[in-house]
Amino acid sequence: MAKTSSKKVATNEIQVFEEFTDDEVKTIYHYSARTHYQRDEVVFKEKSTEASLYVVLKGKLEAIAYTSDKKKIMLSAIDEGEVFGELSFLDGKERSATILAVKDVELLQISRDSFEKLRLEHPSIASKLIMDLARVVSLRLRNADKFIVDIFQVIKQEGESESVVKEDKKPKAISKTAKATTKVNKVKEVVKKAVPVAKSKPTKKVEEKKVTLKVASKAKKK
């Protein structure tokens, strides 16, 4: 289970706090909580309605999902200084993935209720945080687009390779057929030479007709 400890000031090395002053970071910490999760512990599950924003102060996590046959798929690694949970934090909808601690982790948790208090009491800081989250989301979308394009290129190249292989196979098949036909023709020629076609013997009627024609021809000459 998660344990809550006292708040500490974050450093500007944290992804979402890069443009913040130390005083602004201290203010955000005032509206947040530090939590710890042990290795293999789940921070939140896919489709859960918990909608906090998390900053990784220490350790490493994975965003995972499960297939219909319960196989685990690792979607992305989440390292120190990175944020996660921003989508549900912004739109209030269900979690799109399960977050699992790969190592013991220390997180900064900002709940939606705490953020609403920050927005009312420090609107400029809240607005700045939203803008930084928008930048993070935009960067991830760009990376996702690039990933999709890369996958498309790989699929396209594989398709072209298969097409080339198929085209290569056709001439080979035609070549084999031609060779086989040539061999058959050669065999036929050999057979013709070795076994001449037998001439049919004339029938008795044909012989009688020939004799009659010869007699008639001699009679005309006389």
Lookup result for tokens 């602004």:
24
Distance in angstroms (rounded) separating the CA atoms of residues 1 and 114: 21
Looking at the 3D structure of the chain, how many domains does it have?
A: 1
Residues 6+ apart with CB under 8 A from 29: 7, 8, 9, 10, 108
Q: Is residue 191 part of a domain?
A: no
Q: Is residue 150 part of a domain?
A: no
DSSP-assigned letter for residue 7: -
Distance in angstroms (rounded) separating the CA atoms of residues 186 and 179: 11
Strand order across the beta sheet in which 61-66 lies: 42-44, 98-101, 61-66, 72-78
Q: Greater confidence, 16 or 176?
A: 16
Q: Give the pLDDT score at 143.
A: 67
Q: What is the pLDDT of residues 156-171, one digit of tens each?
A: 776 666 665 555 555 5
Q: Is residue 111 part of a domain?
A: yes
- Binned at pLDDT 50, 70 and 90, residue 216 comes out as low
Q: Is residue 183 part of a domain?
A: no
- Binned at pLDDT 50, 70 and 90, residue 7 comes out as very low
Q: Give the pLDDT score at 139.
A: 78
Kindly report the backbone phi and psi dihedral angles of residue 95, in degrees, each rounded to the nearest multiple of 5, phi listed first.
-65, 140
Single-letter amino acid, residue 84: F
Of 71-80, 116-125, 197-206, the range with the lowest mean pLDDT is: 197-206
Q: Give the pLDDT score at 117.
A: 96
Residue of 39, 38, 41, 35 lying closest to 54 (CA atoms): 35
- Specify the CATH number for the domain of residue 105: 2.60.120.10
Could you list the residue range(s) of the whole structural domain that residue 114 is in?
3-144
Of 62-66, 142-146, 217-221, the range with the lowest mean pLDDT is: 217-221
Q: What is the pLDDT of residues 141-152, one digit of tens each?
A: 776 666 676 667
Distance in angstroms (rounded) separating the CA atoms of residues 97 and 48: 9
Rounded average pLDDT over 169-194: 47
Distance in angstroms (rounded) separating the CA atoms of residues 139 and 109: 22
Rounded average pLDDT over 35-60: 94
Q: Give the pLDDT score at 197.
A: 40
Q: Is residue 151 part of a domain?
A: no
Q: Is residue 32 part of a domain?
A: yes
Percent of the chain scoring above 70 in pLDDT: 60
Kindly report the backbone phi and psi dihedral angles of residue 29, in degrees, each rounded to the nearest multiple of 5, phi listed first.
-60, -30
Q: What is the pLDDT of residues 86-140, one digit of tens each?
A: 989 988 899 989 999 999 999 999 999 999 999 999 999 999 999 989 888 877 7
Q: What angle do CA 80, 127, 132 make, to 5 degrees?
A: 30
Q: Is residue 164 part of a domain?
A: no
- Average pLDDT taken over every residue of the chain: 75
Lookup result for tokens 């084999």:
176
Q: Greater confidence, 64 or 12?
A: 64
Q: Give the pLDDT score at 155.
A: 76
Task: Give yes or no for a contact between 20 and 128, defined as CB atoms under 8 angstroms apart.
Answer: yes
Q: Is residue 204 part of a domain?
A: no
Q: Give the pLDDT score at 67.
A: 85
